[in-house]
Amino acid sequence: MTQSISVKCKLIVPSNLGGEVDRTLKGFADACNQILEVAKRENCWNTTKLHHKVYKPVREATGLKANHVCQAIRRVIGNAKAVKQIHKFRPTSISLDVRTFVYKEETQSVGVTLMCGRVEFKLSIGGYQIALLRGQTPTSATLNKTRRGDYFINFVVDIPTQPTGKTPKVIGVDLGRRDIATTSTGKCWSGKQIQSVRDRYSQVRANVQSKRTRNSRRLLRRLSGRERRFQKWLNHNISQQLVQDTKQINAALAFEDLTNIRESLNQKPRSKTERRRTNNWAFYQLRLFVEYKANIAGVQVVFVPPAYTSQTCSRCGHIHPVQGKSYRNGKFFKCGHCGFEHDSDINAAFNIAALGACVSSPQSPGMSCQLLGQMSLFEMIQICG
């Protein structure tokens, strides 16, 4: 089994070749925009059908190589499936396949097919990238140009994974906005810093939008990029620590399945600020990072229904008997049945770990009857398999 990951490498582009790279990037963006117009006009989103409609006219209009046009068609179709509304393509990246690039490990260089032909570039990379690329033959990549004018190529490589075995140990992870992640082992990552950063950028964006200057759009894109990069960096660090800690004790990771959580939260009466904070909650990105890193490390990851995990006492399994009320009060949890007191997020993580044990090790004792009784039949089937 393998796990596909992206390896980012900086290209050393001589000054006399920078124009050729930019010309190819512009041609690829123009091709994507022309293809997008045809796809919208004729409502054609099938790769093969769209290829027959646009291949010849786009190639003649842009002067691109044949495989570049094919990649442009795939880029348009892929973006249409990924997002609801496709904006105009900008000359910042181009998709490459095995026919338009080749990685040379012995010289740490890459040959890329441009509009002028095949050109070889040296790579400026460190030991981490070299180790990931050792013995690899990448078959796909993306060449990017940053706003600062630097060029990078992202190789897609397949990393061998370790087999995941059954283990009775399960670490439950409770996700939230106040605390990004809280584990059943007591480890916690506060969300104060990222929330402060997001609130600050939101205020700056509001000020920029109110002035509506000529450079407003450019500044807004720059701010969005900074915020997105910080969130990505933070989630990478949290996911790496989660997987490393779990690997050390030979355990599995259990998460709540928070699919459609934003929609359900936004149906409740909420202020504009709270709605913005909920919509900016990057829990799914953290989940993706954990999944691929755990797959490489051989750590099992399971998902459980989130219903009542924060309202159930992890010691006696009781839930507040009055509907609409809970033993949880902010960060504090006190059971009205057995008197158990604990941090509410850690208590929820205990429950998630117990539910995860039902999936990881079906022979485990499992959860209390009261909690399972509150769940739907579909949710119980999800847990019990």
For 230-295, the DSSP string reads: HHHHHHHHHHHHHHHHHHHTT-EEEEE--TTHHHHHHTS---HHHHHHHHT--HHHHHHHHHHHHH
pLDDT at 213 (0 to 100): 72
pLDDT at 374 (0 to 100): 47
For residue 113, what are the contacts with CB-CB under 8 A and spacing of at least 6? 65, 67, 68, 96, 99, 100, 101, 119
Question: What does each C-alpha distance from 331 to 168, 190, 257, 266, 341 come to in angstroms?
Answer: 28, 12, 21, 22, 11
Residue 153: in which H helix or E strand, if any? strand 151-160
pLDDT at 375 (0 to 100): 46
What is the average pLDDT across 251-275?
A: 79
What is the average pLDDT across 312-320?
A: 88
> Residue 92 has what DSSP assignment?
T
What is the average pLDDT across 273-291?
A: 82
Higher-confidence position of 1 and 337: 337
Cα separation of 334 and 51, whole Å?
63
Higher-confidence position of 271 and 98: 98
Q: What percent of the chain has pLDDT over 90?
A: 52
Provide the mean pLDDT of the chain. 86
pLDDT at 364 (0 to 100): 53
pLDDT at 351 (0 to 100): 92
Kindly report, residue by residue over 113-161, the tens digit of the pLDDT.
Answer: 999 999 999 999 999 899 999 999 999 999 999 988 999 999 999 888 8
382: pLDDT confidence band, cut at 50, 70 and 90? very low
pLDDT at 373 (0 to 100): 47
* Cβ atoms of 344 and 331 closer than 8 Å: yes
Instruction: List the structure tokens of 185.
Output: 């082992």
Higher-confidence position of 204 and 319: 319
pLDDT at 187 (0 to 100): 92
Q: Say yes or no to pLDDT of 220 above 50.
A: yes
- Strands, sheet with 2-12, edge to edge from the N-terminal-most edge strand: 93-97, 140-145, 151-160, 2-12, 117-124, 109-114, 101-104
pLDDT at 45 (0 to 100): 92
What is the average pLDDT across 35-58?
A: 94
pLDDT at 161 (0 to 100): 80
What domains can be seen in the chain, in order of their start residue? 2-160 (no CATH), 170-190+238-384 (3.30.420)
Q: Say yes or no to pLDDT of 93 above 60.
A: yes
3 state SS of 151: strand
pLDDT at 82 (0 to 100): 82
8: pLDDT confidence band, cut at 50, 70 and 90? very high
Higher-confidence position of 239 and 214: 239
